[in-house]
Structure 1
Amino acid sequence: MNQDTNVLLERIDRLESLDAIRQLAGKYALALDMRDMDAMANSFAPDVRVGRDKSGRAHLKAWLDETMRKQFHGTSHHLGQHIIEFSDADHATGVVYSKNEHETGPEWVIMQMLYWDDYERIDGRWCFRRRLPCYWYATDLNKPPIGGLKMRWPGREPYAGTFHELFPSWDAFWAQRPDKDALPQIAEPAPLEGFLKTLRRGADDPKIRVR
């Protein structure tokens, strides 16, 4: 097999992997909304970490089952833009937006969030190694989340989400006072497969508060 053929096969594999990962995010949303806990758990790696001291799909299924029964009757997850970058042929990182609706008791809670994902291909199948949910707001449909502490679940004290904590550019933007009479400096474009890493600028993962 010559070099050109190898390059072509690698490019085809990359395109198929991109599609499989996007499908994975869609399957996760559908499985969650239809309460198929087996399909949900099987979208993750077999040894997925669950909490601080547990691992495996069975523990994940048990946690998801309890969470859905305790907090929500119905949900609907609407996916937005999805950025995917590969570290090698079998590992990738991604960011996917999600706009969600939740039927929770007498209130209808809407949410805007994003997932920071790690993907891994195991035995030919792409799955989640990790999903880090970062929330901007959650509030009753009729109560716009103006102001701070935008996470406003029924029966709980409001708290701040972590939507912007992945990316230091948010705080840096508001901390700057640009000179209106001078053109700003422009950083070099991020390298290929390095857009997300460049935006992160070495920031730590945020501490996520359980819903």
Structure 2
Amino acid sequence: MSNNTLEQRIDRLESLDAIRQLAARYSLSLDMRDMDAHVNLFAPDIRVGKEKVGRAHFKAWQTDTLRDQFTGTSHHLGQHIIEFKDSEHATGVVYSKNEHECGAEWVTMQMLYWDDYERMGGTWYFRRRLPCYWYASDQNKPPIGDMKMRWPGRAPYAGTFHDLFPSWAEFWASRPDKDVLPEVAAPAPLEQFLETMRRGTPAPRIRVR
């Protein structure tokens, strides 16, 4: 996206702040169980599962999920990278470390969201949030080893924290010659840092908690 004019630069700064506020409002509304405030952060025609569309379906699904699994939650946001596809569409990565009261266990989770944002009628919304989990485990049980997703009453399973970015698997698969200076790729183009890191890989399948 070109940002040569003053008007474009100001719009970009305002959009960056609006999208960061969007992520912060997501966490607050979710933790306080204000489901109307929460679902209104998403596009009106948000897809829910394979066949359902709309905020009402999303509210019903989210409400059931929260009632069934958690007494309380707290979402703590970390770094947030945002890149614009054009003036009305953007993508982002948000780190989040979350706490969950799950009966007798206090489960801490580390994850990131891969987001698609869209501006409609002057307001930025989530078009999609793809949660990618690294671990979830009782705070007294460090998630060392494989199958780091360890919810009470469920069999452990692997998360998808690293699956968006092929560099993780490539790093551990390679054994470079320490006597040979490695090559360095050219820097990513403007607004393409995330896409360059993705290298065209498909989004991972996310297992529902």
TM-score by length of 1: 0.97
How many Å apart are 1:182 and its aligned residue? 1.0
Count residues with an aligned counterpart.
Answer: 206
Question: Structure 2: where are the runs of 5+ without partners?
Answer: none
Read off the aligned partner of 2:9 and give its amino acid letter. Answer: R
Q: Which residue of 1 aligns with 2:170?
A: 172
Q: Which residue of 1 aligns with 2:122?
A: 124
CA distance in 1, matches of 2:158, 2:52: 27
How many Å apart are 1:30 and its aligned residue? 0.2
Other structure's SS at 1:83 match: strand
Q: Which residue of 2 aligns with 1:150?
A: 148
CA distance in 2, matches of 1:24, 1:202: 26
Q: Which residue of 1 aligns with 2:84?
A: 86
Question: Structure 1: where are the runs of 5+ without partners?
Answer: 1-5
1:40-59 matches, cutoff 5 A = 40-59=38-57
How many Å apart are 1:29 and its aligned residue? 0.2
Out of 93, 104, 123, the position equivalent to 1:95 is: 93
Other structure's SS at 1:78 match: strand
1:133-144 matches, cutoff 5 A = 133-144=131-142
Q: Which residue of 1 aligns with 2:198?
A: 200
CA distance in 1, matches of 2:35, 2:62: 7
TM-score by length of 2: 0.98
CA distance in 1, matches of 2:30, 2:38: 6
Out of 30, 33, 38, the position equivalent to 1:32 is: 30
Q: Percent identity?
A: 75
Q: Which residue of 2 aligns with 1:184?
A: 182
Read off the aligned partner of 1:164 and give its amino acid letter. Answer: H
**Root-mean-square deviation (Å):** 0.6
CA distance in 1, matches of 2:120, 2:161: 29
Q: Which residue of 2 aligns with 1:14?
A: 12
Read off the aligned partner of 1:167 and give its amino acid letter. Answer: F
CA distance in 2, matches of 1:180, 1:92: 40
Q: Which residue of 2 aligns with 1:77?
A: 75
CA distance in 2, matches of 1:61, 1:198: 34
Q: Which residue of 2 aligns with 1:3?
A: none
Q: Deviations over 1:27-78 (max 9, x none)?
A: 0000000000001100000000000100100000000111111100110000
How many Å apart are 1:203 and its aligned residue? 0.6
